[in-house]
Amino acid sequence: MDELDGALQYLGDSGPEFGPGVSNHGPMAAEALGQLGHTAAIGAWVSAYRKILYEDTYGRFHRIDHDNWRPALGNMRLLGDWTEFFRRELAEASWTDVLARWWPRLLPGFAAGGGHGVIRTGHAVRMMTEAHTPWRLEELARGLGYWAGRYQELPEAPSTPRERDLAEAWAAVPKLRSDQGMGMIFRIRLETVWLEPDFAPAVDSLLPEDDADRALSRLTRAAAGSYLGDDHSTPMAFVHALTTPAAVRLVLPSLPPELHWPSVTAAVRFSAAIRSAYGTGRREHRPEEPPQDYATLAERALATEDPHAIKYVEACRREDGLAPDPVYAIAATDWVRRCETGSF
């Protein structure tokens, strides 16, 4: 058993959330550590992180099947049942077939757990593409189960003319006028996006494209730019505006081509909702230090023990490698510094 599978087994009795609805980042960050070249550190990091997690106490209340699954979406009480459902699904068909079947069904609820249903699923998919093991298959069941249990839709305006490129649609995202639900539990804050009538028309004005990967690069670049330059006071929210579409990219190669653009539009809607909910506008970014190389940032992120630092550095490094832009290293350096100093 390798370090990652050992970590997944060690985290196997931990629940999907802890504290006031905070997502369990253990499996995601452990996988990201391996991608950053710190496989040997996974065990020690997971041992430390497990101490803050809650036990998985979700029971079985309702057997979910192919006839009754739809009304069970978004019912966190049924999380144990959702995870068990996906265990059965993955035992009866190939994981890629299960993914292709359920990804479009879950896609409207992309905001589940503040995006963490998608992120956890994305990291699990990357694990599976590298090695098919029982614990990685279990992690995919848990990622999909968490997404289904926390399923959360965002407003849409399907009749809006598709006439803006991504930069124009991003610029049109309105700042939410209500402070209701403001805080670090993103799923609560994102509920108030339904109060903003200009949000859905801005997002749904996006022109379809043929190249989903290129569109995701533009989205993550915009998210990094907004982290640095938007008028907001919650940088952690903007961290997730990048890591969530970056997780979608991990899944695209395992999905049928016809699901690629719908996946991009769902990612745009989520990242735009974060921006709308936590602040648009402009401010001048005054860097506290010059951008660091990713090897240094990975070492520093590991030293903080913060899963958000680890995941953001890994996502920025990957996105920068695919479509190079200085904004990724600048944003990653700033976030690691904030994690080091607790200024987030």
24's tokens: 């369990």
Residue holding tokens 């049942």? Answer: 81
Residue 226 and residue 128: Cα distance in Å, rounded? 32
Q: Give which of 185, 181, 210 is closest to 193, Cα–Cα.
A: 181
Q: Are the C-beta atoms of residues 257 and 300 closer than 8 Å to each other?
A: no
Which amino acid does the sequence have at 245?
P
Q: Are the C-beta atoms of residues 120 and 28 closer than 8 Å to each other?
A: yes
Residue 78 and residue 61: Cα distance in Å, rounded? 7
Per-residue confidence (pLDDT) for residue 178, from 0 to 100: 84
Residue 17 and residue 71: Cα distance in Å, rounded? 22
Residue holding tokens 């533009």? Answer: 218
Residue 283 and residue 281: Cα distance in Å, rounded? 7
N- to C-terminal Cα separation, the chain: 37
Alpha helices in the chain (DSSP H): 3-10, 26-35, 42-50, 79-92, 95-106, 116-130, 134-149, 166-171, 186-190, 199-203, 212-229, 235-251, 260-278, 294-304, 307-322, 326-341
Full pLDDT tens readout for the chain, 344 residues:
699 999 999 999 999 999 888 999 999 999 999 999 999 999 999 999 999 999 988 878 889 999 999 999 999 999 999 999 999 999 999 999 999 999 999 999 999 999 999 999 999 999 999 999 999 999 999 999 999 999 999 999 999 999 999 999 999 999 998 888 887 788 899 999 999 999 999 999 999 999 999 999 999 999 999 999 999 999 999 999 999 999 999 999 999 999 999 999 999 999 999 999 999 999 988 888 999 999 999 999 999 999 999 999 999 999 999 999 999 999 999 999 999 998 88
Q: pTM above the 0.95 mark?
A: yes
Per-residue confidence (pLDDT) for residue 60, from 0 to 100: 80
Tell me the pairing of strands 22-23 and 17-18: antiparallel
Per-residue confidence (pLDDT) for residue 203, from 0 to 100: 98
> What CA dihedral angle connects 38, 40, 43 and 44, to 10 degrees?
-80
Q: Give which of 180, 245, 174, 176 is closest to 212, Cα–Cα.
A: 245
Q: Are the C-beta atoms of residues 65 and 88 closer than 8 Å to each other?
A: no
Per-residue confidence (pLDDT) for residue 180, from 0 to 100: 85
Per-residue confidence (pLDDT) for residue 1, from 0 to 100: 60
Hey, how many other C-beta atoms are within 10 angstroms of the C-beta on 169? Answer: 22
Q: Are the C-beta atoms of residues 120 and 143 closer than 8 Å to each other?
A: yes
Which amino acid does the sequence have at 65?
D
Q: How many residues does this entry show for the chain? A: 344
